[in-house]
Amino acid sequence: MTILDEIAAETRRRVSKAKELSPLAEVKAKALALPKKNFEFEKSLKGDEISFICECKKASPSKGVIAEDFPYLDIAKEYEKAGADCISVLTEPKWFLGKDEYLKEITENVNIPCLRKDFTVDEYMIYEARLLGASAVLLICSILTKQQIEEYLGICDELGLSALVEAHDEAEVKMAIDAGARIIGVNNRNLKDFTVDTGNSKRLRSLIPSDVIFVSESGVKGPEDVKAIREIGANAVLVGETLMRAEDKRAKLNELKGK
């Protein structure tokens, strides 16, 4: 089993336990009773300039604990003040030490759209994301079938949520396009062994239609990386560890933007 397989299996167990406390029908009804979101996440990535999705995460499987001190709400507010277009919030508890509460509190206290960064393996998690205030969910091609992605995109549309559909190779990009993804994120990190290759976005860029929002994920360390991603025509970049390790996140984001 790869790490990704392990995470997906553990997430299925987590969802199964959650359903015992709050059944799917109950969570679905609550989510559908809320006002429909307005696809704010994808709208915020459509600017003329490259957009920045800034990540709140305490740990990762490859690096272990990244932020011993994790004032997640302060971090999110700092990102917003620094000019982030969106915030990605990890809610996976075992490997990333995330919590649903982080997302809920952040969405209640910032005005920019938030992505629930988790390993969506069940429709239940999409309804949960809406209840937590998220504007978007992550759908990873490596752990889903095309049919599941189509189904989950339909649920997102019903709720007004955006879906960042993540691909790592040619076959997964094709799957995302065929399923009807409006946002495709190319992960420069191989989630099977966690190696990073920033050239992955460049290799796959030509496969993604111009009317689909293209996000380059992982491996951004400095302004030269952002410049290279901008040059291949990416609409947005997702930055995690580099910002999490920066003491002055506003200064670091300005540096990445080339200011």
So which residues are the catalytic ones? 55, 57, 117, 166, 187, 217-218
Contact 176, 209 (CB under 8 A): no
Contacts of 111 (CB under 8 A, 6+ apart): 80
Rounded to whole angstroms, what are the CA distances from 24 to 61, 122, 163, 249?
A: 29, 10, 20, 38
The dihedral formed by the CA atoms of 192, 194, 199 and 203, expressed in degrees to the nearest 10: 10
Rounded to whole angstroms, what are the CA distances from 214 to 7, 71, 118, 186?
A: 25, 30, 19, 8
End-to-end CA, the chain: 43
Identify any residues that bridge with 217 across adjacent strands, giving them in sequence order: 187, 238
Residue 114 and residue 221: Cα distance in Å, rounded? 22
Contact 110, 77 (CB under 8 A): yes
